[in-house]
Structure 1
């Protein structure tokens, strides 16, 4: 489990370096059917090498000290047996689009990984109870991503490495949408059809592995030499 905790810490710092989180945000990785590990409840860029992550049940009360919005992670893991990693983040482009109550259209390659469409949760209150968490994940639907109006977003992947890449992808998807809106061409610009998007959303060619390497380059727990 310590190797998985190291991955959680590395992901937390990577998301911080990429500017996708700041004082707020959290990430987690599934341990087994009934448990996952979540990063420490503090700014993710400040998570220290070797710092303890917390084991959280997929169902039931959150352990003491775990942030309330980790309920979002619980609901995803409970409903998606294939989910191996979750990221709750606040990328700057994503925050703007979420505040507008809009989701990005699928206009470029990164966006295809959110077929059929990014979800939108319109309640601006923080998700700190089971009822709101369930509602938010209902709004996420079958997508890998969710925008939360006024509060950022959530992504789920087959692993935490994949979810970290998806956070980068969703932020870039929002960047493209905001550029389209700024240009005045959003209504006439092309969007990618669902069938084409499903074919484009490949995992082959080390797609997520290369993004993981890019985002985690220079991390102290990767750079450290084994004893």
Structure 2
């Protein structure tokens, strides 16, 4: 499992390089051995070693020399509710946080919103960090989606593996920035329900090469 721990650490550090996180903000996990590995609470990613990464069961039992992220509950609940999810990323990136602090969902201002499984990226209700209430709000906002915003908090992304979770996090932050910038100039023109339905149909095979089998849903 140390190889998976090393991949988790490398991805967590890449979150910083991509501008998604600074310092000890945010957290990251990956499904492993009937549970999941998760970044520890209060530790800078640059200092992490494999032995610092705790394992948790889906019942909430933690094993390891470090305490898990205080946000472990929504990681645990996502894995329990969504068997297709293999990695969960939470970040306090600048533009996602800006929109989350307005408690504003991202509407279909751009067709790439469909990348996250629906016609919008929802903003979940506010709840204190680390609580079951926040986890419940996150799961509701993620229903049928691979990402959401958390009110007055940040972004949450569910991917099939660490690479996809990071890619989706970077893509979501980019869309948050584009929406924020468009709003500075006026009210963005939104795609219609029919236009988004067409996009969602095209996204069923998005990114697949000729002869490649379908790897799952866009959500």
Change (3 A) 1:45 1:100: same
Task: Name the structure 2 match of 1:115.
Answer: 117
The equivalent of 1:199 in structure 2 is: 202
SS of the aligned residue for 1:97 comes to helix
Render the CA deviation track for 1:95-151: whole Å, top value 9, x for unaligned. 11111111222344643211213222121x333222431232122211111111110
Deviations 1:27-69 (A, max 9, x none): 011014x311112323554243545311011223455711221
CA contact (8 A) 1:72 1:133 kept: yes
In the aligned structure 2, how far is the partner of 1:130 from the partner of 1:173? 28
| Secondary structure, aligned partner of 2:28 | strand
SS in 1 for 2:30: strand
Task: Assess if the C-alpha contact under 8 Å between 2:111 and 2:199 holds in 1.
Answer: no
Aligned partner of 1:31 in structure 2 is: 32
The higher relative CO (CA closer than 8 Å, separation ≥ 6) is in 1
1:48 aligned residue: 48
Quote how far apart the aligned CAs of 1:189 are: 4.5
Name structure 1 gaps, 5 residues minimum: 206-227
CA distance in 1, matches of 2:106, 2:36: 30
Q: Does the CA contact (< 8 Å) of 1:19 and 1:91 recur in 2?
A: yes
CA offsets, 1:3-38, max 9 Å, x none?
111110011000011120123111011014x31111
Match of 1:92 among 91, 94, 113: 94
* Mean Cα deviation higher: 2-11 or 195-204: 195-204
CA RMSD, Structure 1 to Structure 2 (Å): 2.2
In 2, are the aligned partners of 1:89 and 1:153 still within 8 Å (CA)? yes
Partner secondary structure for residue 36 of structure 2? strand
Change (3 A) 1:51 1:108: farther
Structure 2 gap segments, 5+ residues each: 210-219
Aligned partner (choices 85, 105, 115) of residue 107 of structure 2: 105
Judging changes above 3 Å, is the alpha-carbon distance between structure 1 residues 8 and 95 closer, same or farther for their aligned structure 2 residues?
A: same
Aligned length: 202
What secondary structure does 2:6 align onto?
A: helix
- Measured after TM superposition, the shift of residue 184 of structure 1 is 0.2
1:1-227 correspondence runs (5 A): 1-22=1-22, 23-32=24-33, 34-48=34-48, 50-62=50-62, 65-108=67-110, 110-116=112-118, 117-123=120-126, 125-186=127-188, 188-190=189-191, 193-200=196-203, 202-204=206-208
Q: Which secondary structure does the structure 1 equivalent of 2:71 belong to?
A: helix
**What stretches of structure 1 move > 6 A for 4+ residues in a row?**
none
Normalised to the residue count of structure 1, the TM-score between the two structures is: 0.80
Change (3 A) 1:59 1:50: closer
Question: Could you say what secondary structure the match of 2:96 adopts?
Answer: helix
